[in-house]
C-alpha cells in the first residue's frame, strides 16, 4: 500500500481533531489552526489526486482490521480526491473573504466556536466524500447539519435564530427520510457497505423480486437528500439562512453544505444502487421536473427580491435546479454536466456572497437594491468581483457558468428521448431570467451616485490598499472562475475518469 | 391474497404509521415543542423498524453466557448497533432544537413559529 493512500483517513481525522483542540484554544490560535488545517488537507488532496491520475483507478481503505463485509471502509478515486481539494480551496477563500466581517458581527468570545464549527463542517464534508459505508454517511450527514446550523446562528439576532430553526426542521425531515431509506435498503440487502449493497441489488433485480420496496427505498433516499440540498419545492428555509448569516457562513452554506449532500446522492446513484437501475426506476424523471421548475421559479423569485443577499440566495435555488435537471436527464453526459456545475456554482456563488458584502459595507450597511447605486465605484474590488460572478452565473464565455451551460445543452441534444426540447427551452428561458436580475444589479452598482446623496447617507470609499486580504481573496476567486471557464478540458477529464471508476 | 402479509409484518406496519405521524407533526405543527415531539416519534419509529427487522423469533441476545456459540442461537446484532448510533444522533439533534427553542422563546415569548416570522417581518431588520 502506498503511503499516499492514507490521505483520506488522515484528512478526516485531522480536521475533526483540530475542531476538538480548538475548543480549548483562544480565538486567534483557533483561526491559525483552522487555516493551517485547511491548507494541509488541500495540499494532501492535491497529492492524492495527482497520484490517482497517474496510476488510474480507485482504492478502498480498511478502517481497523476487519475485512470487507464487517469492517468500515473508505474509498477514494479521482472524483473524490478532486472534490476534497475543491472543497478545501473554496472553504479557505470563503473564510478569508469573510474574516473582517466576522469580527464585526460575532462576539469575540464566540470566535473559537466558529472555527470549531468550520473544522467539523470540513471533516463531515470529507467523510461524505470518501466514505464507503451508508450508515457512516448518515451520521456525517447529521454532523454536517448541526455544524451548518451553528454557522447560521453564530451571528445572534432574531432573524438568524428563526432561520436556523427553519433550516433544522427541513433538514431533519430530510434526514428522517434518508435514515428510513437506508434502513430499508439494509433490510433488502443485508449490507451497509456500498459495494456489497450494489452486488445484492443487482441480484435482487436479476431475480425480479422486491421491485416495489426497492423503488420506494430509492425514492426515500433521493427525496431525503433533495430536501436537504434545497431542491425547488423544499427551499423555503434557504433565503433567510443564506441572507442573514455572516458572510463566510453564507458562502460556505451555499457552496459546500448543499453540495456535500448532492455528492452523496451521486455516490448513492453510482456506487450503491447502480446507475442503470436508477434510470430504470423512473425517479430521475421526477427530479427532472422539479429541477426544471426550480430553474424558472428560483429565478423569478430572485427578480422580485429587493435585498441583494436574498437575491443571491434565490439564485442558488435556480442553480440547484440546474444540477438536479442534469441528474434527471439520466445519461452520463448529464451527470458530467451536473458535477461540473457543482464546481462552477460553488466557485461563483461564494464569490458573489463575498463581493456583495463589500458592496453593502460601503453603502452604510444597507442591502437594499436601490441603495447600492454607484457602490462599485466606492469599492472597486468588490464591484469587479460581483460583475465577474454575475457574468459567470448568466453564462458569458470565459467564465465557468458558460462551460456548465454548454455541457447541459450538449447533454440535452445528445439525449435519446423527448427530454431534449424541454431542457433546451427551459435552459434558454432561465438564462434570460438570470441575465435580467444579475445584469440589472451590475448596471445598478455602476451607475454613479450624486455626491450630496453619498455624503448625506454616510457612504464612504474603500480602496484596495485598505483591505488587502479581501482584495487577494477576490482576485483568487476570479482566477478560479477563469480556470474553470477556460481550462475546463482537464477538469472534465477528471470528472469522466472519476465516474468510470465509480462503477 | 391481499392483506395476507399484514399480520406477519404487523410491527413494521406500526413502525411505518408512527413514522408518518411523526413526519406530519414535524412538518405541520405550528408549536415548536410539538414539532420536536414529532421529530422524536419519527426517529423512534425508525428504531422500532430496525429492532423488529433484527429480531428473529425464538432466539436470544448475542451474549455468550452458557457456552452456546452457534449462529442459529442468536438474533442479528447489527440493527441493535444501528439503533444505538441513531439514538445518539437523535438525542443531540433534539438537544440542539430545544436550545434553539429556548432562545426564540426568551426573545419573543411565544412558541408559534409563524407568529415569530410575522413579527420579524414587522421588525424588518
Residue A127 lies in a domain: no
pLDDT score recorded for residue A418: 81
Whether A168 sits inside 8 A of B108 (CB atoms) is no
Nearest CA in chain A to B87: A139
Distance CA A292, CA A326 (A): 10
Whether A157 sits inside 8 A of B125 (CB atoms) is yes
Between residues B57 and A95, the one the model is more confident about? A95
Residue A132 lies in a domain: no
Q: DSSP letter at A157?
A: S
pLDDT score recorded for residue B125: 56
Kind plus residue range of the DSSP H or E element containing A9: helix A7-22
Residue A53 lies in a domain: no
Whether B96 sits inside 8 A of A146 (CB atoms) is yes
Nearest CA in chain B to A69: B78
Distance CA A6, CA A4 (A): 5
Whether A176 sits inside 8 A of B116 (CB atoms) is no
Side-chain-side CA neighbours of A302 within 13 Å: the count stands at 32
Instruction: Quote the minimal CA–CA distance from B74 to chain A in Å.
Output: 16
pLDDT band at B124 (very low <50, low <70, confident <90, very high): low
Mean model confidence pLDDT for chain A: 90
Residues 5-34 of B with CB under 8 A from A: 19, 22-23, 26-27, 32
Cell of A464: 484596495
Nearest CA in chain A to B53: A187
Nearest 5 degrees, angle CA A112-CA A135-CA A40?
40
Kind plus residue range of the DSSP H or E element containing A59: strand A59-63
Of A135, A162, A173, the CB nearest to B23: A173
Alpha helical stretches, state H, A362-448: 375-378, 380-394, 400-413, 420-445
Of A146, A162, A187, the CB nearest to B93: A146
Whether B89 sits inside 8 A of A158 (CB atoms) is no
| Domains of chain B by residue range | 10-123
Whether A172 sits inside 8 A of B26 (CB atoms) is yes
What is the Cα gyration radius of chain A?
22
Q: Report the length, in residues, of chain A.
A: 503
pLDDT score recorded for residue A409: 92
Question: Tell me: the pLDDT tens digits for A342-380?
Answer: 999 999 999 999 999 988 888 888 888 888 888 888 889
pLDDT score recorded for residue B77: 87
Question: Tell me: the pLDDT tens digits for A234-265?
Answer: 888 898 889 888 899 999 999 999 999 999 99
Asked if B116 has any chain A CB less than 8 Å from its own CB, the reply is yes
CATH topology of domain B10-123: Helix Hairpins (1.10.287)
Whether A173 sits inside 8 A of B96 (CB atoms) is no
Q: What is the largest CA-CA distance in chain A?
A: 78
Which residues in chain A have Cβ-Cβ distances shorter than 8 Å to B43?
A: 176, 179
Residues 29-88 of B with CB under 8 A from A: 32, 35, 39, 42-43, 46, 49-50, 53, 78-79, 82, 85-86
- Domain tally for chain A? 1
Residue A232 has pLDDT above 70, yes or no: yes
Residue A224 lies in a domain: no
Cell of B111: 412558541
Residue A208 has pLDDT above 90, yes or no: no
Residues 185-244 of A with CB under 8 A from B: 186-187, 192, 244
Question: Tell me: the pLDDT tens digits for A20-69?
Answer: 999 998 888 999 999 999 999 999 999 999 999 888 788 888 888 888 78
Cell of B65: 453466557
Of A135, A161, A164, the CB nearest to B82: A135
Residue A159 lies in a domain: no
Residue B111 has pLDDT above 80, yes or no: yes
Distance CA A124, CA A114 (A): 15
- For chain B, give the percent of residues with pLDDT over 70: 97
Cell of A124: 463531515
Q: DSSP letter at B60?
A: B
Average pLDDT over residues B55-84: 84
Nearest CA in chain B to A244: B125
Residue A115: partners with Cβ closer than 8 Å, 6 or more residues away: A19, A22, A27, A30, A31, A33, A34
Question: Tell me: the pLDDT tens digits for A290-331?
Answer: 999 999 999 999 999 888 999 999 999 999 999 999 999 988
- For chain A, give the percent of residues with pLDDT over 90: 57
pLDDT score recorded for residue A226: 94
Which residues in chain B have Cβ-Cβ distances shorter than 8 Å to A161?
A: 100, 103-104, 107
Residue A48 lies in a domain: no
What is the Cα gyration radius of chain B?
21
Q: DSSP letter at A209?
A: -
pLDDT band at A110 (very low <50, low <70, confident <90, very high): confident
Residue A413 lies in a domain: yes
Q: What is the predicted ipTM?
A: 0.94
Nearest CA in chain A to B82: A135
B64 exposed, middle or buried (CB, 10 Å; 0-12, 13-18, 19+)? exposed
Instruction: Quote the minimal CA–CA distance from B82 to chain A in Å.
Output: 8
Judge contact between A480 and A409, C-beta under 8 A.
no
Between residues A482 and B117, the one the model is more confident about? A482
Residue A116 Cα distances to A34, A113, A295, A406, angstroms: 8, 5, 35, 39
- For chain B, give the percent of residues with pLDDT over 90: 51
pLDDT score recorded for residue A297: 92
Instruction: Quote the minimal CA–CA distance from A343 to chain B in Å.
Output: 30
Residue B39 has pLDDT above 90, yes or no: yes
Instruction: Quote the minimal CA–CA distance from A50 to chain B in Å.
Output: 36
> 3-state DSSP call for residue A73?
strand
Which residues in chain B have Cβ-Cβ distances shorter than 8 Å to A196?
A: none
Domain that holds residue A491: 282-503
Instruction: Quote the minimal CA–CA distance from A321 to chain B in Å.
Output: 23
Asked if B96 has any chain A CB less than 8 Å from its own CB, the reply is yes
Nearest CA in chain A to B41: A176
Residue A500 lies in a domain: yes
| C-alpha closest to that of A387 among A417, A355, A350 | A355
Question: Tell me: the pLDDT tens digits for A442-490?
Answer: 999 898 888 777 777 778 788 777 888 999 999 999 999 999 999 889 9
> 3-state DSSP call for residue B2?
coil
pLDDT score recorded for residue A317: 92
Amino acid at each position: 500500500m502506498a503511503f499516499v493512500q492514507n490521505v483520506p483517513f488522515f484528512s478526516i481525522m485531522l480536521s475533526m481533531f483540530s475542531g476538538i483542540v480548538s475548543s480549548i484554544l483562544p480565538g486567534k490560535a483557533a483561526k491559525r489552526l483552522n487555516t493551517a488545517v485547511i491548507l494541509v488537507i488541500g495540499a494532501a488532496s492535491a497529492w492524492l489526486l495527482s497520484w490517482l491520475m497517474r496510476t488510474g483507478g480507485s482504492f478502498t481503505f480498511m478502517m481497523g482490521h476487519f475485512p470487507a463485509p464487517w469492517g468500515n471502509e473508505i474509498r477514494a478515486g479521482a472524483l473524490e480526491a478532486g472534490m476534497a481539494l475543491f472543497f478545501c480551496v473554496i472553504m479557505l477563500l470563503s473564510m478569508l473573504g469573510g474574516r473582517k466581517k466576522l469580527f464585526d458581527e460575532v462576539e469575540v468570545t464566540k470566535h473559537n466556536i466558529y472555527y470549531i464549527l468550520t473544522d467539523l463542517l470540513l471533516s463531515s464534508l470529507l467523510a461524505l466524500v470518501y466514505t464507503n459505508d451508508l450508515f457512516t454517511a448518515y451520521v456525517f450527514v447529521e454532523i454536517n447539519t448541526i455544524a451548518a446550523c451553528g454557522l447560521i446562528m453564530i451571528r445572534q439576532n432574531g432573524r438568524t435564530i428563526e432561520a436556523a430553526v427553519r433550516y433544522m426542521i427541513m433538514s431533519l425531515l430530510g434526514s428522517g427520510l434518508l435514515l428510513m431509506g437506508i434502513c430499508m435498503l439494509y433490510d433488502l440487502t443485508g449490507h451497509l457497505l456500498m459495494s456489497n449493497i450494489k452486488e445484492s441489488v443487482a441480484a435482487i433485480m436479476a431475480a425480479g423480486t422486491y421491485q416495489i420496496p426497492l423503488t420506494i427505498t430509492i425514492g426515500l433516499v433521493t427525496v431525503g437528500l433533495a430536501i436537504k440540498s434545497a431542491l425547488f419545492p423544499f427551499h423555503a428555509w434557504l433565503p433567510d439562512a443564506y441572507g442573514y448569516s455572516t458572510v463566510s457562513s453564507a458562502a460556505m452554506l451555499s457552496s459546500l453544505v448543499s453540495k456535500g449532500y448532492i455528492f452523496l446522492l451521486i455516490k448513492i446513484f453510482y456506487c450503491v444502487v447502480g446507475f442503470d437501475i436508477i434510470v430504470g426506476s423512473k425517479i430521475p424523471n421526477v427530479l427532472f421536473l422539479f429541477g426544471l421548475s426550480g430553474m424558472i421559479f428560483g429565478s423569478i423569485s430572485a427578480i422580485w427580491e429587493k435585498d441583494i443577499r436574498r437575491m443571491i440566495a434565490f439564485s442558488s435555488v435556480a442553480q440547484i435546479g440546474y444540477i438536479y435537471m442534469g441528474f434527471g436527464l439520466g445519461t452520463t453526459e448529464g451527470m458530467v454536466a451536473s458535477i461540473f456545475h457543482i464546481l462552477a456554482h460553488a466557485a461563483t456563488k461564494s464569490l458573489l456572497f463575498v463581493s456583495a458584502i463589500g458592496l453593502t459595507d460601503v453603502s452604510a450597511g444597507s442591502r437594499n437594491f436601490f441603495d447600492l447605486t454607484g457602490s462599485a465605484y466606492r469599492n472597486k474590488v468588490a464591484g469587479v468581483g460581483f460583475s465577474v460572478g454575475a457574468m459567470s452565473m448568466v453564462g458569458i464565455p470565459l467564465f465557468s457558468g458558460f462551460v456548465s451551460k454548454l455541457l447541459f445543452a450538449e447533454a440535452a441534444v445528445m439525449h435519446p428521448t423527448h427530454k431534449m426540447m424541454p431542457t433546451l427551452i427551459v435552459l434558454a428561458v432561465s438564462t434570460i431570467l438570470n441575465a435580467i436580475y444579475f445584469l440589472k444589479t451590475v448596471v445598478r452598482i455602476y451607475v454613479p451616485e450624486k455626491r450630496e446623496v453619498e455624503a448625506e447617507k454616510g457612504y464612504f470609499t474603500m480602496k484596495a490598499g485598505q483591505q488587502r486580504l479581501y482584495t487577494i481573496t477576490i482576485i483568487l476567486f476570479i482566477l478560479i472562475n477563469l480556470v474553470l471557464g477556460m481550462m475546463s478540458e482537464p477538469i472534465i477529464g477528471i470528472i469522466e475518469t472519476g465516474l468510470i471508476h465509480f462503477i | 391474497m391481499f392483506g395476507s402479509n399484514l399480520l406477519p409484518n404487523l410491527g413494521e406496519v406500526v413502525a411505518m404509521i408512527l413514522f408518518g405521524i411523526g413526519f406530519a407533526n414535524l412538518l405541520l405543527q405550528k408549536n415548536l415543542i410539538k414539532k420536536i415531539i414529532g421529530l422524536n416519534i419519527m426517529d423512534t419509529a425508525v428504531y422500532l423498524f430496525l429492532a423488529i427487522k433484527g429480531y428473529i423469533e425464538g432466539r436470544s441476545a448475542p451474549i455468550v453466557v452458557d457456552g452456546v456459540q452457534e449462529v442459529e442461537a442468536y438474533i442479528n446484532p447489527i440493527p441493535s448497533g444501528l439503533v444505538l448510533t441513531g439514538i445518539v444522533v437523535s438525542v443531540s439533534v433534539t438537544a440542539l432544537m430545544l436550545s434553539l427553542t429556548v432562545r426564540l422563546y426568551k426573545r419573543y415569548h411565544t412558541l408559534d413559529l409563524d407568529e415569530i416570522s410575522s413579527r420579524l417581518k414587522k421588525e424588518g431588520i
